[in-house]
Amino acid sequence: MAIAMHTVALWRAAHGRTGDKGDRSNISVIAWAPELYPLVVEQITEAAIARQFAHRRPAQVTRHLLPNLHAMNVVLDGVLDGGVNDALNLDSHGKALSFLLLELPLEVPAALLPLLRGPDSQNPSGDKP
Amino acid sequence: MATPPVLRIGCAAGFSGDRTDAAGPVVDALLAAGGPAVLIFETLAERTLALAHLARRHDPAAGFEPLLDAMLQPVLARCLRGGVKIVSNFGAANPRGAALRIREMALQQGLPAPRIAVIAGDDVSGPAHRVALQRALGTALDGRDVVSANAYLGAEPIAAALKAGAQIVVGGRIADPSLTVGPALAHFGWAHGDWDRLARATMAGHLLECGTQVSGGYYADPGIKDVAGMANLGYPIAEIDEQGDCIITKPAGSGGCVDEHTVKEQLLYEVHDPAAYLTPDVVADIGAAHVHTVGTDRVRLAGVRGHARTGTLKINVCFESGWLAEGEISYAGARAEARARLAADVLRERLQTVGALRADLIGVASIFGDDDGRWLAATPCGDARDVRLRVALRHAERTSAERLVREVTALYCCGPAGGGGVRTALRPTLGTLSCLLPRDSVPASFEMID
C-alpha cells in the first residue's frame, strides 16, 4: 500500500546555521524531531544540495552524519567567491546560506506531519514548492 | 581524594563589536553560584586582528580591543574582589597595552593593582619566522605589504599564568576555545595528553566562544524558532566538571534560551569534519557527542572524544590587497525593478574597462547570489516596487576603484527616472593566507605585570 506523502520545505522539518572559513561554507541541518531525521538523511543528499547551490559552482559537497544529534553537517567547498576577504557579496561570509539549503523540498509521510514546525502543519499542501 | 568542584566559565563577548553590557549579569550569576569562576571575552576574528595591527602602526599605544573600557569597566571591581578570573584575547595586536590600560582602570577605581599576565609568542611577523613563512607560503606573499602574521596559541600559557597567580590573563591570537581550556587545565590539573578531557573542555569553549549564539542569539525565526527577551539575551555560562563535560546555562532572569536545539546549532558552527575539530590543544571528535536537557535553560554536552594534537600551529597572514568600492541607489513605485535593472546595465557599460561588477537588487535577488551574476540573471524581471540597487567591485588601485563611486553618484542626473538615496563607500581591503608552522618553532610564554 502506498503511503501518502506530502512535499514541504526542509525548514519545516529541520533548522540550521551557516559557518565559514575561507572559501568553505558549513551548514548544519538539525531535525526538529528524531523521527524526521531519517527522511533528511535519505532525501537531502549531496547531489540535491549541489543542485541547490549550482549557481555558486561548489567544488565539492560533503555530508557528515551525526545520528546522536539527529543532525548532519554539510560542507560546501568553493561556494563563497573566495571567502570573506575576496567576495563582492554584501554577505561575504555567506551567513544567509542556511536558508537557501532549507528551501529544499522534503517528502514527509502524513503520520509525521504533526512533528513539523511552522504554520499549517495539518495542511501542508499550501506550501508545495 | 575529593572531586574538585565544577569550574564555571562565563563568556561576555563573542566578537569585537558584541554588546558591551553583557558581562554584568554573567558576573552576578558567577558570584551568586560561588565556587571557582572565570569570565572570558572572545573578541578576535582574522580581520579584527589585522585592523588592530593597522591601528598600532598609527599609534604604538593602540592595537588592543577598542571597546576594552566599555566591556570591562562595569565588572572589573566585582571580579577582582570576588575572585573571578578574567581571560581574554582582547589584547589583539598589543596585549601589553591592554594590560597596562586594565591596570590603570583598576587603580582609577581605587583597587589594588591586579596581577595581570600578558601572553606572548603569537606574533610571527618578525625576522625570526620570515624564512619559515616564505617556505610555507611559497611565492604567495611576494610583493605584498604584510600587515600581520599570527599563530593560534593554545591553552598552556593561560594555564601556566593562572597557576602562577594571575587574576587577569591578556593575550592576542589565542584560539577561541583555548580561552576555556586554559582555565580548566589550571583548575583540574589534567595530565598532558589527556586528550578526552581536553577535547571535552575544548567543545565547552566552542559552545561559549560566540557568546549568545548558544543561548538564543542568532537563532530566532518568528513562528518557527521563537526566542523571548532578545533585547536582554543572557550570555552563556559553562559548568565544567572534572571529566571536562559541561552543562551550558545562562544567568537567571536573562532573556534568550538554552535548549538542545540552540546547543546543537552552535556545536556544529564552523565545524567541518565532526570527527576532527583541530585546535592547538587537541583534535576533538564530536561524532558520538550528545546533548540532553537537564533543567530549565540547562543542557548537558557529553560523549566528546579526543585525539592527540597535531605537531603544527595554524598561522594567519594578513596583507593589504587593494580597494573595495560599493554604491547603492533606490527605486520605488511603478516599474521600480525595471528601472533598477536598467541602472545596473548602465553601470556595467560605463565600468566595463575597470573590472567585473557585481550587481544586487535588494528586495529581489541579492545575498543568495554569486559574484558572477548567474543567480540574478536567472531571476526574471518582476514587479518589485521598492528596490535598492547595490553594486561593488574590487581593484588594486584606488583611483580605478573610485570610478564606481563616481558613476553611481552620476546616476542622480544620468540614470533612470526617480533614483534616490545614493550612498557610496570606498575602503582598503585586507587579504589573508593561512599556513602551518611546526609547534616547536612558535614558543609561547607569559609575563606578569603587577
The DSSP call for residue B97 is H
Q: Among all chains, which residue has been given the C-alpha cell 552620476?
A: B410
Q: Which residue of B has its CA nearest to A20?
A: B270
Report the alpha-carbon distance of residue A77 to residue A24 in Å, rounded.
5
In a domain, A61, yes or no: yes
Question: 3-state secondary structure string, B295-337?
Answer: ECCEEEEECCEEECCCCEEEEEEEEEEEEEEEEEEEEECCCHH
Q: Is residue A22 part of a domain?
A: yes
* Residue B328 near chain A (CB below 8 Å): no
| Planar angle of CA B435, B309, B434, nearest 5 degrees | 10
Residue B1 lies in a domain: no
Which segments of A1-129 are extended strands (E)? 5-9, 14-15, 18-21, 24-31, 60-66, 71-77, 105-109
Taking the Cβ of residue A121 and every Cβ of chain B, the question of whether any pair is shorter than 8 Å is answered with no
Interchain contact, A17 vs B261, CB within 8 Å: no
Helix (H) or strand (E) holding B77: helix B76-82
CA angle in degrees (0–180, nearest 5) for B312-B313-B317: 130
In the structure, what pLDDT confidence band is assigned to residue A128 with cuts at 50, 70 and 90?
Answer: very low
How does residue A129 score in pLDDT terms, banded at 50, 70 and 90? very low
Inspect the interface and report whether the beta carbons of B268 and A66 lie closer than 8 Å.
yes
Domain identity same for B233 and B381: no
- Which chain B residues have a beta carbon less than 8 Å from that of A56? 370
Q: What's the rounded Cα separation, in Å, for the pair B285 and B84? A: 30
B142 inside domain: no
Exposed, middle or buried by CB within 10 Å (0-12, 13-18, 19+), for B372? middle
Q: Which of B292, B310, B328 corresponds to the end of one domain? A: B310
Q: Please tell me if residue B393 touches chain A, with a CB cutoff of 8 Å.
A: yes
Instruction: With respect to residue A51, please indicate whether it lies within any of the assigned structural domains.
Output: yes
Question: For the segment B67-123, what is each residue's pLDDT rounded down to a tens digit?
Answer: 999 999 999 999 999 999 999 999 999 999 999 999 999 999 999 999 999 999 999
Residue A123 pLDDT: 47
> Is residue B158 predicted with pLDDT exceeding 60?
yes
Residue B140 lies in a domain: no
Q: What is the pLDDT of residue A125?
A: 46
Cell of B410: 552620476
The reply to whether ipTM tops 0.90 is yes
| pLDDT score of B367 more than 50 | yes
- Does residue B294 share a domain with residue B173? yes
Shared domain for B227 and B359, answered yes or no, is: no
Does B162 lie in the same domain as B21? yes
The pLDDT tens digits for B416-431 are: 999 999 999 999 999 9
* B52: DSSP letter: H
Q: What is the pLDDT of residues B31-76, one digit of tens each?
A: 999 999 999 999 998 888 989 999 999 999 999 999 999 999 999 9
* pLDDT of amino acid A120: 61
Residues B199 and B283 in one domain: yes
Q: Are residues B304 and B321 in the same domain?
A: no
Same domain, B25 and B159: yes
What is the number of domains present in chain A?
Answer: 1
| CB contact B366 to A (< 8 Å) | yes
Per the structure, the complete domain to which residue B262 belongs is given by 7-126+150-310
Facing B370 at nearest CB: one of A16, A30, A55:
A55
- Which of the residues A8, A17, A24, A101 would you substitute to probe the B interface, choosing the one with the greatest number of B C-beta atoms within 10 Å? A17
32-91 in chain A: CB under 8 A from chain B: 32, 55-57, 64, 66, 68-69, 71, 73, 75, 81, 84-91
Q: List the single residue in A30, A56, A88 with the smallest CB-CB distance to B264.
A: A30
- Strands A24-31 and B420-438, bridge-based pairing: unpaired
Can you state the angle between helices B178-188 and B156-163, rounded to 10 degrees? 40
The verdict on B166 and B186 lying in the same domain is yes
Whether B139 is in a domain gets the answer no
Closest residue in chain B to residue A28, using alpha carbons only = B268
- B272 at the A interface (CB within 8 A)? yes
Q: What is the CATH number for B322?
A: 3.30.70.1710
Which residue from B minimizes the CA distance to A56?
A: B370
Among B265, B236, B243, smallest CA distance to B3 is for B243
For position B1, what pLDDT does the model report?
60
Q: What is the mean pLDDT of chain B?
A: 96
pLDDT in tens, B269-323: 999 999 999 999 999 999 999 999 999 999 999 999 999 999 999 999 999 999 9
A19 close contact with B: CB closer than 8 A: yes
Q: Give pLDDT, residue B3.
A: 78
Verify whether the Cβ–Cβ distance A89 to B367 is below 8 Å: yes
- Dihedral sign, CA of B21, B26, B29, B31? negative
A77 in a domain, yes or no? yes
Please compute the mean of the pLDDT values over residues B381-396 and round it to a whole number.
97
Per the domain annotation, does B428 fall within a domain? yes
Q: Is position A113 within any domain?
A: no
Q: Is residue A116 part of a domain?
A: no
Rounded to the nearest angstrom, the minimum Cα separation between A97 and chain B is 7
Q: Which residue of B has its CA nearest to A82?
A: B371
Q: Which site among B209, B224, B360 would you substitute to test the A interface, given the most A Cβ atoms closer than 10 Å to its Cβ?
A: B224
CA distance B378 to chain A (A): 9
Q: Find the mean pLDDT for residues B405-420.
A: 98
| Domain assignment present for A75 | yes
Of the candidates A24, A71, A91, the beta carbon closest to that of B264 is on A71
Q: What is the dihedral of CA B393, B399, B400, B404, to 10 degrees?
A: 50
Residues 35-74 (B) with a CB less than 8 A from some CB of A? 46-47
Residue B87 and residue B44 share a domain? yes
The total number of structural domains in chain B stands at 2
Say how far apart CA B174 and CA B445 lie, in whole Å: 12
Domain that holds residue A47: 5-105
Tell me, yes or no, if A28 comes closer than 8 A to chain B by beta carbon.
yes
B329 and B298 share one domain: no
If asked whether residues B240 and B339 sit together in one domain, one would say no
Percent of chain B with pLDDT over 90: 95
Contact B268 A68 (CB under 8 A): no
Q: Examine the domain organization and report whether B258 and B338 are in the same domain.
A: no
B274 contacts chain A (CB < 8 A):
yes
Which of B310, B325, B346 delimits the end of a domain?
Answer: B310
Q: Is the Cβ pair B370, A24 closer than 8 Å? A: no
Is B144 contained in some domain?
A: no
Nearest by CB to B261, which of A15, A81, A87?
A15
- Could you tell me if residue B16 is inside a domain? yes
Sorted by sequence, the CB contacts under 8 Å of residue B368 that are 6+ apart come out as A96, A97, A100, B375
Query: Each residue of B321-356: pLDDT tens digit?
Result: 999 999 999 999 999 999 999 999 999 999 999 999
| Residues 83-112 of chain A whose Cβ lies under 8 A from any Cβ of chain B | 84-91, 96-97, 100
pLDDT digits (tens, 9 = 90+) for B374-384: 999 999 999 99
Domain-located, residue A32: yes
Closest CA to A21 of A63, A83, A72: A83
Residue B438 counted as domain residue: no
- The pTM score is 0.96
> What sections of B91-149 are H helices per DSSP?
95-108, 130-137
